[in-house]
Amino acid sequence: MTTPRYYVTTPIYYVNAQPHIGHAYTTLACDMLARFKRLDGFDVKFLTGTDEHGQKVATSARAAGIDPQRFTDRVSRNFRDLAEFMACSNDDFIRTTEARHKTSVQALWARLVDAGDIYLGAYAGWYATRDEAFYTESELEKRPDGTYVAKASGAEVEWVEEPSYFFRLSAWQDRLLAFYEANPDFILPKTRRNEVVSFVQGGLQDLSVSRTALDWGISVPGDDAHVVYVWLDALTNYITAVGFPDTDGDYARYWPADVHMVGKDILRFHAVYWPAFLMAAGLRPPRRVFAHGWWTNESQKISKSLGNTIDPIKLIETYGLDQVRYFLLREVPFGNDGDFSHAAMVHRINGDLANDFGNLAQRVLSMIHKNCDKMVPSPGAMTEDDRALLDAAAGAKARMGAAIDVQAFHEALEHLWNVVRAANAYVDRQAPWALRKTDPDRMRTVLYVLAETLRHLAILAQPVMPDSAGRMLDLLAVAEDSRDFACLDAGHALCAGLPLPKPEGVFPRYVDPEAEDA
């Protein structure tokens, strides 16, 4: 049997600014997905990286007073460090200034030219550097001072007139619509899919795919006066990283990608332009583009000018890495917008993590430590209540997997917490502390059922909270090589008599520093 493969990507981030919560969010969501699939036996490729060409980056480099290459080297490093700091399990980190990428973009360009989908013309229209996007008049709104901004993003636009190569996007309308029709889950969530379909139904204009006004980019093959439009350059990263233009090797192994994870603001580039470029080049489009929502900060739109950006490193230093990972993926249905607030974060940390999951583990493990000779107890005959809890634990992986496959991460965590809650209710019902005197055999069975349930919970919690779940598995003496999902079967159940280390808390409560001082 061949190992199933899974290829997941984050957007590549512009190196014009410091990493913020938006970057951390997408990367963490992909990391959770990649870890889940690896534990589930998939051969996973998880890609992230930086988008280093284009006007926006060139302008930031100029403002910083250094040449663009040195500037991008410096800022790209911050993104790589952040991925490491967040314990991301990415298999590759791509930079669009790398030689492998230049080769790939120029090869894709050549294919588009050969297909007759690129022609030379002249562009006269609006351009927003912030979005690196061209806009039509109808997509703009006039501000009181007479300048125009893009309705969708609020980005300022400027009038541009220059020679330009165009991609015949207009010729792809019907084929794109047929593609969406044949692949109903290509764009998720559904509401986003509907928006894209109506946009394409509204008609497509040919797309300007080169710029002459700047030189910070990849030259158009055979015409040095032009650099490739930064979005065509950037999107190509997803195939560069699997070895394109070589279409054997990793390309054959991983392409088409299973999911491109993106924010809702960059969906159109991924769901309209990208599949059109690929199909025109005779390559397969990705299997899915998932658009997630945006975070606000204490109900306010996050913006540099408001000074309320959230630094992911500070966030993690304040609340803990696994806590932040859990919060971001649990707090809002993935795909919706969400509001970050200190109160909501503390509520999740102290409620879901410390009280529900942490206390469960702590109670069970300390009772075992005190009353079962510090060993996994030996179970007797099982009751219906015991079996119900074990069955709920055993069924969680399939339920989580189904949610993960449609990127419903919040739902996957809800399935996990249903088992946590069921286990807590079971402890209260069975009251093992009372059984200690009245029926010690029964107490051992109850504690065994709980320990085995904890083993399932900890294995399944690894994708979202790798460190805490790993520590819980240490406390259950589960060997490093027995922690993947294949070990969720009865054959790997905890063995009676297995010595357990001294229990310690895995999910600390968050206490406000002021409250502590008081």
456 binds ligand MSP (CB under 6 A): no
154 binds ligand MSP (CB under 6 A): no
Q: Residue 236 or residue 453: which is nearer to ligand MSP going by CB?
A: 236
Selected from 31, 40, 51, 258, the binder of ligand MSP by CB under 6 A is 51
235 binds ligand MSP (CB under 6 A): yes
14 binds ligand MSP (CB under 6 A): yes
294 binds ligand MSP (CB under 6 A): yes
217 binds ligand MSP (CB under 6 A): no
Selected from 302, 316, 376, 494, the binder of ligand MSP by CB under 6 A is 302
CA distances from 479 to 459, 473, 498 (A): 11, 8, 11
CB of 236 to ligand MSP, least distance (A): 8
42 binds ligand MSP (CB under 6 A): no
Strands lying side by side in the sheet with 210-211: 210-211, 223-228, 219-220
- Residue 336 CA to residue 427 CA, distance in Å, equals 35
Q: Residue 127 or residue 295: which is nearer to ligand MSP going by CB?
A: 295
Selected from 44, 47, 234, 241, the binder of ligand MSP by CB under 6 A is 234
* Cross-strand partners of 180: none
* Cross-strand partners of 484: none
- The single-letter DSSP state of residue 378 is P
For residue 268, report the phi and psi dihedrals to the nearest 5 degrees: -60, -40
163 binds ligand MSP (CB under 6 A): no
CB of 15 to ligand MSP, least distance (A): 8
Candidates 18-26, 36-44, 215-223, 354-362 — which segment interacts with ligand MSP by CB under 6 A? 18-26
Query: Exposed/middle/buried for 502, CB within 10 Å: 0-12, 13-18, 19+?
Result: exposed
- Residue 131 CA to residue 430 CA, distance in Å, equals 59
Look up tokens 């019902």; give the residue. 429
- Residue 481 CA to residue 192 CA, distance in Å, equals 41
Q: Residue 69 or residue 303: which is nearer to ligand MSP going by CB?
A: 303
Selected from 36, 166, 273, 295, the binder of ligand MSP by CB under 6 A is 295
- Tell whether omega for the bond before 189 is within 30 degrees of 0, i.e. cis: yes
CB of 299 to ligand MSP, least distance (A): 13
CB of 211 to ligand MSP, least distance (A): 16
Q: How many CB atoms lie within 10 A of CB 314?
A: 9
- Residue 168 CA to residue 163 CA, distance in Å, equals 16
Question: Residue 190: which residues within 8 A CB-CB, separation 6 or more?
Answer: none
Candidates 157-165, 232-240, 459-467, 468-476 — which segment interacts with ligand MSP by CB under 6 A? 232-240
Q: Residue 451 or residue 464: which is nearer to ligand MSP going by CB?
A: 464
23 binds ligand MSP (CB under 6 A): yes
Q: How many CB atoms lie within 10 A of CB 140?
A: 17
Selected from 43, 265, 385, 474, the binder of ligand MSP by CB under 6 A is 265
| Closest alpha carbon to 54 in 171, 192, 209 | 209
* Cross-strand partners of 158: 127
- Please compute, for residue 331, the number of CA atoms within 13 A of its CA located in the half-sphere on the CB side: 25
* Cross-strand partners of 223: 220
CA 331 from chain centre, in angstroms, equals 15
CB of 165 to ligand MSP, least distance (A): 19
- Token reading at 202: 């509204």
CB of 222 to ligand MSP, least distance (A): 25
Size of the residue set binding ligand MSP (CB under 6 A): 19
Selected from 11, 358, 432, 463, the binder of ligand MSP by CB under 6 A is 11
CB of 130 to ligand MSP, least distance (A): 9
CB of 342 to ligand MSP, least distance (A): 17
Selected from 7, 25, 134, 172, the binder of ligand MSP by CB under 6 A is 25
Selected from 6, 7, 26, 244, the binder of ligand MSP by CB under 6 A is 26
Q: Residue 231 or residue 357: which is nearer to ligand MSP going by CB?
A: 231
CA distances from 330 to 395, 409, 464 (A): 20, 7, 10
Selected from 228, 266, 345, 396, the binder of ligand MSP by CB under 6 A is 266
Query: Exposed/middle/buried for 438, CB within 10 Å: 0-12, 13-18, 19+?
Result: exposed
Candidates 5-13, 30-38, 179-187, 206-214 — which segment interacts with ligand MSP by CB under 6 A? 5-13
Q: Residue 111 or residue 260: which is nearer to ligand MSP going by CB?
A: 260
* DSSP-assigned letters across all residues of 232-251: HHHHTHHHHTTTTT--SHHH
Q: Residue 308 or residue 418: which is nearer to ligand MSP going by CB?
A: 308
- Please compute, for residue 221, the number of CA atoms within 13 A of its CA located in the half-sphere on the CB side: 15
- Residue 457 CA to residue 450 CA, distance in Å, equals 10
Residue nearest to ligand MSP (CB): 263
Binding site for ligand MSP (CB under 6 A): 11-14, 22-23, 25-26, 51, 234-235, 237, 262-263, 265-266, 294-295, 302
